[in-house]
């Protein structure tokens, strides 16, 4: 025991379609009686690799060797027969059934079951008696899981569902267990409990693979760590002989120079102020926890973080799409400037507001009243020739998503399943443009002229490959669909553009088109928020990077100075002292240098 | 009154066959709107089988047996067609089902016209084999109980047996548990090692076969061999009965009697105009709508349709 191999993977490759290679020539092994962590960023192919061992996917090439013998695992049944059980991140449980039914589900009749002719044995086995459930319950109680198996799954908490999954896999006789991000949905106490169970199972001789991207958990639970990056196997190391720093370096890899055009932000002023935003999701978990930051006009603010750490909910909270969001979102609307004559009786207020930097001259220069006499101020205000302007300040708290959109705050979210959000697959590019503009115009009949113009502009400017503008969007390739999606939001001349994963699954050239689009928006003084997965892109494209970890801000850093490893560490752990990099800081430093 | 109840049971059984078959199919996650068409196909097969056996001079129970066998075969073929389209090719289930309905009704219409004088062709076979005498003998005493419960042809009882068997299998066996899992969450069923595609095919074909017998029963027993082409109209009521009985075929037995009662009631009401009788035909549908409102009001998970009803399943979907 100990050194014998439970599973050995040799040269495993798996691709989805022609472009997305999920795993490339992966070699890996699992020893008997150990806990192996698989560590990697999003999209590094961890889950795909494990799904191939569990029979959900079949590899395109390569060998899977189980206990010394080459195995062909074509379906979950094959995996069961090899005593391999996987606990998926999204539980594979039937909500309507009791826990016992879920555990008994799909069980095959053992050859030595009962006596007599096979048919009668089968009838007896096929009958679902209450006794069997009782027997099952007593075995479960022996292990000390403490769960009532007669309860329905939809009544259970996430942690209880996970327990049911583990019991199910054990009941089916698995001695190789694969857990896909088991801690993502658990509270710290539940995680401790789970780890205790895992250690107990290891001591009983089971081999366990645990997929995770949390470094502290890797260090706490595993005997060895296997690091994947972009579908490739980087290294497998003994946990005791490595450090968190070393693992992070392996996980994020060397910095790649992407050569994206990036200019210094020109006179950035806060456009969107987010204060103490918290979002509670449907399951009642706090997914965004007291997040505060500013987004300035003329900058690209990157949001980094392992996916599922609150990025989506944060953006949706800003766009008014999360009903259970708390906190303030203040929007400084630059276009609706008003003359300050509005306040001309209240000198104190004018001074106070000027001190906050909320006024500017028509040429965009900021108004500074500290050295100007009161009389002069009144003259400036009342003289119709010289006008002060101020940003319109709008609290987005009580606005509906539609009102927020109409103010020019646009969210273009590219989900993993690209056609699912934002575009209607069976409609043409023109009709998809109209989804955003149909409210304009007073006629009952739709006006196709403008949307058609817009669609043609997008096709030309973004080089969308399509036979014509009337082809259903569903038939375009992924990259082209995304160009249409992002192009449509940009065409509405936004003031804040939030682009989440706009280059997800795109090839290099299309990605650069999108980067250039975002850059041109930045130059038009739009506040751009870019949520990305690839750290290299974030470091090369953005001006500042906000790092989210577990729904909290673990730092706002200068994208020009920060290193990949620093961001990587912030992504996995919230530091004690949280950095908040602002442009005032940048200007101060600039003055120091000059 | 006894007459009405007897007739209600007899007509109700037509719905019962259709809804038992549809329940079996829907529990595997497939919404088969082709049930009316499948019942038409079953009617064609049943009449053919009965006619051949009768012409060949076979004993009564062979006539019934062959009629049922042919009806199931024709129904199963319809189910297989539906299965190939919706399970293997993952076509839209509603569209496939509706076209199957049109197809089945067309086949029945075409075949009926080709056969010429139906009265002469099928009525003798029907009188010969589908009478209660086959089942209970001619010497039953004549009172209200025997009239209501024992004056039917053998297929009435077969329908109830089918419904009970389907109910027991779904509720009390592992096979039924697996089938329900396939309809609720095929990904979970697949991960548990259940052959999802095979289950879907078997339930689609078996359900269609059961529904097919309903068509044969209607033509040979209810209408005594005269081909009135309203099977597809009855098929829709069978689909409504599935919802009415909350996807449980044991409830469906009583539901079918209620539907049968409501269906034949207009014929027995005196002094009501034709138009009013037409309006009365709405009642079963209205009752189904009412049930839908009531169950959505309680919002209990157990009374909802199978969770993945109507959704195609493909394991490597990302």
Sheet (strand A224-229) strand order: A84-87, A176-180, A207-212, A35-39, A224-229, A232-238
3-state secondary structure of A308: coil
Residue A527: name the closest of A353, A359, A410 by CA: A410
Contact B178 A106 (CB under 8 A): yes
Cβ density class A110-127: b for 16+ within 10 Å, e for less: eeeeeeeeeeebeeebbe
pLDDT of residue A280: 86
Closest Cα in chain A, distance from residue B268 (Å) = 44
pLDDT in tens, B176-218: 999 999 999 998 998 888 899 999 999 999 999 999 999 999 8
Q: Find the residue in B nearest to A101 (Cα).
A: B177
Within 13 Å of residue B312, how many CA atoms lie on the same side as its CB?
17
Residues A46 and A155 reside in one and the same domain: no
Contact A101 B184 (CB under 8 A): no
Within 13 Å of residue A457, how many CA atoms lie on the same side as its CB?
12
For residue A185, tell me if it sits in a domain: yes
Closest Cα in chain B, distance from residue A237 (Å) = 31
Query: What mean pLDDT is predicted for residues B106-115?
Result: 84
pLDDT of residue B152: 81
Highest mean pLDDT among A261-265, A408-412, B77-81: B77-81
Tracing tokens 């443009």 back to the chain, one arrives at A433
Residues A246 and A373 reside in one and the same domain: no
Tracing tokens 């067609």 back to the chain, one arrives at B81
Contact A75 B193 (CB under 8 A): yes
- Residues in chain B within 8 Å Cβ distance of A125: 174
Question: What are residue A8's DSSP bridge partners?
Answer: A29, A65
SS3 track for A513-549:
HHHHHHHHHHHCCCEEEEECCCHHHHHHHCCEEEEEE
pLDDT in tens, A441-471: 566 666 777 788 888 888 887 777 777 778 8
Domain boundary among A222, A253, A284: A253
For residue A529, tell me if it sits in a domain: yes
- Do A458 and A504 contact (CB within 8 A), yes or no? no
Tracing tokens 């799954």 back to the chain, one arrives at A153
- Residues in chain A within 8 Å Cβ distance of B188: 91-94, 102, 105
pLDDT of residue A1: 43
Residues A428 and A464 reside in one and the same domain: yes
Question: Which CATH class name applies to B2-303?
Answer: mainly alpha
Residues A245 and A297 reside in one and the same domain: no
ipTM: 0.84
Question: What are residue A277's DSSP bridge partners?
Answer: A291
H or E stretch at A489: helix A478-491
**Residue A106: domain span:** 99-171
**CA–CA distance, B272 with B267 (Å, rounded to integer):** 10
Residues A242 and A279 reside in one and the same domain: no
pLDDT of residue A593: 42
Residues A383 and A308 reside in one and the same domain: yes
Contact A106 B181 (CB under 8 A): yes
Closest Cα in chain A, distance from residue B191 (Å) = 6
For residue A589, tell me if it sits in a domain: yes
Percentage of chain B with pLDDT > 70?
92
Select from B172, B187, B195 the Cβ nearest to the Cβ of A127.
B172
Where is pLDDT greater, at A247 or B72?
B72
Residues A304 and A201 reside in one and the same domain: no
Asked if residue A591 has pLDDT above 60, the reply is no
Select from B184, B193, B307 the Cβ nearest to the Cβ of A77.
B193
**CA–CA distance, A39 with A434 (Å, rounded to integer):** 44
For residue A158, tell me if it sits in a domain: yes
- Do B238 and B17 contact (CB within 8 A), yes or no? yes
pLDDT of residue A337: 58
Contact A92 B191 (CB under 8 A): yes
pLDDT in tens, A344-376: 567 777 777 777 766 766 655 667 777 777 777
**CA–CA distance, B134 with A27 (Å, rounded to integer):** 72
- Tokens of residue A250, six digits: 């392996």
Confidence of residue A343 (pLDDT cuts 50, 70, 90): low
Handedness of CA B238, B239, B241, B247 (dihedral sign): positive
Asked if residue A136 has pLDDT above 90, the reply is no
Within 13 Å of residue A41, how many CA atoms lie on the same side as its CB?
24
Spell out the residues 6+ positions from residue A446 whose beta carbon is closer than 8 angstroms to its own: A434, A438
- Residues in chain B within 8 Å Cβ distance of A173: none
Q: Where does chain B have alpha helices with state H? A: 2-27, 35-55, 60-83, 93-115, 118-129, 133-136, 144-150, 154-172, 174-184, 186-191, 196-217, 231-244, 249-268, 274-280, 283-298
Contact A77 B195 (CB under 8 A): yes
Closest Cα in chain B, distance from residue A106 (Å) = 5
B207 burial level (CB within 10 Å; 0-12, 13-18, 19+): buried
Confidence of residue A594 (pLDDT cuts 50, 70, 90): very low
pLDDT of residue A384: 54
- Tokens of residue A34, six digits: 């150990």
Highest mean pLDDT among A58-72, A122-136, A440-454, A463-477: A58-72
pLDDT of residue A441: 58
Select from B174, B192, B307 the Cβ nearest to the Cβ of A126.
B174
Residue A260: name the closest of A562, A564, A537, A545 by CA: A537
Spell out the residues 6+ positions from residue A518 whose beta carbon is closer than 8 angstroms to its own: A300, A497, A499, A502, A528, A530, A541
Tracing tokens 């062979």 back to the chain, one arrives at B62
Contact B192 A92 (CB under 8 A): yes
Mean per-residue pLDDT of chain A = 80
DSSP state of B88: I
Select from B181, B187, B318 the Cβ nearest to the Cβ of A105.
B181
Contact B181 A97 (CB under 8 A): yes
Residues A426 and A518 reside in one and the same domain: yes
Asked if residue B285 has pLDDT above 70, the reply is yes
Percentage of chain A with pLDDT > 70?
85
- Tokens of residue A290, six digits: 């007291």
Query: What mean pLDDT is predicted for residues B220-243?
Result: 79
Residues A470 and A362 reside in one and the same domain: yes
pLDDT of residue B136: 61
Residues A301 and A235 reside in one and the same domain: no
- Residues in chain B within 8 Å Cβ distance of A56: 191, 315-316
Residues A362 and A475 reside in one and the same domain: yes
Residues A565 and A419 reside in one and the same domain: yes
Where is pLDDT greater, at A553 or A438?
A553
Domains identified in chain A, total number: 3
Contact B173 A128 (CB under 8 A): yes
**CA–CA distance, A554 with A299 (Å, rounded to integer):** 20
Domain extents in chain B: 2-303
Select from A57, A96, A417 the Cβ nearest to the Cβ of B301.
A96
Tracing tokens 């997040």 back to the chain, one arrives at A291
Asked if residue B318 has pLDDT above 50, the reply is no
Select from A56, A94, A102 the Cβ nearest to the Cβ of B315.
A56
Neighbours of A248 (CB within 10 A): 21
What's the CA angle centered on A221, arms A218 and A225, to 5 degrees? 45
pLDDT in tens, A91-104: 889 989 999 999 98
- Tokens of residue B177, six digits: 């548990």
Mean per-residue pLDDT of chain B = 86
pLDDT of residue A2: 46
What's the CA angle centered on A565, arms A559 and A570, to 5 degrees? 75
Contact A80 B180 (CB under 8 A): no
Closest Cα in chain A, distance from residue B313 (Å) = 13
Contact B184 A94 (CB under 8 A): yes
**CA–CA distance, A288 with A292 (Å, rounded to integer):** 10
Domain boundary among A120, A151, A171: A171
Angle of helix B2-27 relative to helix B154-172, nearest 10 degrees? 40
Domain boundary among A114, A139, A171: A171
Poorest-pLDDT segment among A216-220, A472-476, A555-559, B290-294: A472-476
Angle of helix A478-491 relative to helix A429-437, nearest 10 degrees? 30
- Tokens of residue B139, six digits: 């010497």
Closest Cα in chain B, distance from residue A287 (Å) = 24
Within 13 Å of residue B190, how many CA atoms lie on the same side as its CB?
19
Q: How many CB pairs under 8 A join A and B?
A: 81
Closest Cα in chain B, distance from residue A95 (Å) = 8
H or E stretch at A517: helix A508-523
pLDDT of residue B139: 57
Within 13 Å of residue B4, how many CA atoms lie on the same side as its CB?
12
- Do A222 and A36 contact (CB within 8 A), yes or no? yes
Closest Cα in chain A, distance from residue B173 (Å) = 5
- Tokens of residue A50, six digits: 């494990």
Query: What mean pLDDT is predicted for residues B167-171?
Result: 93
pLDDT of residue B185: 92
pLDDT in tens, B300-315: 778 888 888 988 888 7
Contact A128 B190 (CB under 8 A): no
pTM of the model: 0.71
> Residue A402 phi/psi, 5° resolution?
-70, -40
Q: Residue A69 belongs to a domain with what CATH number?
A: 3.40.50.300
- Do B244 and B259 contact (CB within 8 A), yes or no? yes
């Amino acid at each position: 025991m100990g050194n014998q191999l439970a599973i050995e993977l040799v040269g495993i490759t798996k691709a989805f379609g022609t472009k997305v290679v999920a795993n490339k020539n992966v070699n890996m092994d699992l020893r008997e009686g150990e806990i192996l962590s698989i560590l990697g960023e999003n999209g590094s192919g961890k889950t795909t690799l494990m799904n191939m061992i569990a029979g959900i996917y079949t590899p395109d090439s390569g060998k899977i060797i189980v206990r010394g013998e080459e195995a062909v695992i074509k379906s979950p049944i094959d995996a069961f027969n090899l005593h391999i059980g996987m606990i998926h991140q999204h539980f594979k449980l039937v909500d309507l059934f009791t826990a016992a039914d879920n555990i008994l589900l799909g069980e095959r009749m053992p050859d030595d079951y009962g006596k007599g002719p096979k048919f009668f044995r089968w009838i007896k086995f096929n009958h679902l008696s209450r006794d069997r459930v009782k027997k099952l319950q007593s075995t479960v109680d022996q292990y000390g899981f403490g769960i009532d198996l007669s309860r329905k799954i939809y009544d259970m908490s996430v942690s209880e569902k996970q327990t049911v999954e583990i019991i199910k896999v054990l009941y089916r006789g698995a001695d190789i267990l694969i857990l896909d991000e088991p801690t993502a949905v658990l509270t710290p106490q539940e995680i401790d409990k789970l780890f205790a169970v895992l250690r107990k199972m290891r001591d009983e001789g089971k081999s366990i693979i645990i997929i995770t991207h949390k470094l502290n958990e890797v260090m706490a639970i595993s005997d060895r760590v296997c690091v994947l990056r972009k579908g490739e196997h980087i290294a497998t190391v003994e946990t005791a002989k490595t450090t968190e720093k070393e693992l992070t370096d392996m996980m994020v890899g060397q910095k790649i120079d992407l050569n994206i055009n990036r200019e210094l932000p020109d006179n950035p002023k806060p456009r969107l102020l987010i204060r103490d935003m918290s979002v509670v999701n449907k399951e009642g978990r706090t997914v965004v926890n007291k997040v505060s930051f500013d987004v300035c006009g003329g900058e690209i603010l990157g949001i980094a973080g392992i996916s599922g750490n609150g990025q989506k909910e944060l953006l949706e909270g800003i766009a008014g799409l999360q009903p259970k969001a708390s906190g303030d979102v203040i929007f400084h609307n630059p276009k609706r400037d008003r003359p300050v004559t509005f306040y001309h009786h209240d000198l104190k207020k004018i001074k106070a507001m000027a001190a906050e930097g909320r006024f500017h001259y028509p040429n965009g220069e900021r108004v500074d009243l500290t050295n100007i006499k009161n009389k002069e101020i009144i003259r400036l205000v009342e003289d119709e020739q010289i006008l002060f302007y101020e940003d319109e300040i709008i609290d987005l708290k009580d606005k509906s998503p539609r009102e927020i959109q109409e103010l020019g705050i646009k969210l273009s979210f590219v989900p993993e399943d690209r056609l699912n959000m934002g575009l209607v697959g069976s409609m043409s590019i023109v009709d998809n443009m109209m989804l955003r503009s149909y409210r304009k115009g007073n006629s009952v009949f739709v006006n196709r002229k403008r949307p058609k113009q817009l669609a043609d502009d997008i096709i030309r400017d973004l080089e969308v490959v399509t036979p014509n503008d009337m082809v259903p969007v569903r038939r375009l390739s992924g990259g082209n669909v995304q160009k249409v999606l992002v192009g449509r939001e940009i065409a509405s001349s936004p003031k804040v553009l939030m682009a989440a994963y706009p280059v997800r699954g795109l090839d290099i050239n299309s990605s650069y088109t999108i980067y250039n689009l975002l850059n041109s928006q930045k130059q038009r003084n739009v506040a751009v928020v870019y949520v990305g997965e690839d750290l290299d892109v974030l470091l090369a494209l953005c001006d500042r990077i906000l790092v989210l970890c577990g729904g909290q801000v673990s730092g706002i850093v200068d994208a020009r100075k920060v290193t990949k490893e620093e961001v990587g560490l912030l992504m996995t752990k919230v530091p004690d002292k949280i950095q908040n990099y602002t442009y005032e800081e940048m200007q101060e430093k600039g003055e120091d240098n000059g | 009154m006894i007459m009405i109840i007897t007739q209600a049971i007899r007509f109700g059984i037509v719905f019962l066959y259709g809804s038992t078959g549809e329940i079996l199919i829907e529990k595997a996650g497939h919404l088969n709107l082709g049930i009316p068409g499948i019942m038409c196909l079953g009617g064609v097969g049943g009449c053919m089988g009965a006619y051949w056996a009768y012409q060949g001079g076979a004993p009564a129970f062979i006539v019934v047996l062959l009629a049922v066998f042919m009806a199931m075969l024709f129904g199963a073929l319809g189910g297989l067609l539906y299965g190939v389209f919706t399970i293997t090719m993952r076509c839209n289930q509603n569209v496939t089902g509706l076209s199957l309905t049109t197809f089945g009704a067309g086949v029945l219409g075409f075949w009926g016209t080709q056969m010429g004088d139906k009265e002469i062709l099928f009525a003798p076979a029907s009188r010969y084999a589908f009478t209660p005498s086959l089942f209970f003998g001619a010497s039953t005493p004549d009172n209200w109980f025997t009239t209501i419960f024992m004056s039917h042809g053998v297929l009435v009882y077969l329908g109830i047996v089918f419904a009970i068997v389907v109910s027991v299998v779904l509720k009390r066996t592992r096979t039924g548990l697996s089938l329900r899992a396939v309809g609720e969450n095929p990904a979970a069923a697949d991960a548990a090692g259940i052959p999802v595609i095979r289950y879907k095919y078997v339930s689609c074909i078996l359900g269609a076969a059961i529904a097919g017998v309903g068509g044969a029963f209607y033509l040979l027993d209810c209408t005594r061999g005269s081909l009135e082409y309203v099977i597809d109209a009855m098929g829709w009521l069978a689909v409504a009965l599935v919802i009415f009985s909350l996807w449980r075929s044991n409830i469906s037995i009583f539901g079918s009697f209620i539907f049968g009662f409501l269906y034949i009631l207009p014929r027995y009401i005196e002094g009501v105009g034709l138009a009013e009788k037409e309006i009365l035909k709405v009642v079963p549908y209205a009752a189904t709508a009412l049930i839908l409102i009531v169950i959505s009001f309680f919002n209990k998970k157990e009374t909802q349709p199978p969770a993945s009803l109507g959704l195609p399943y493909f394991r490597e979907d990302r």
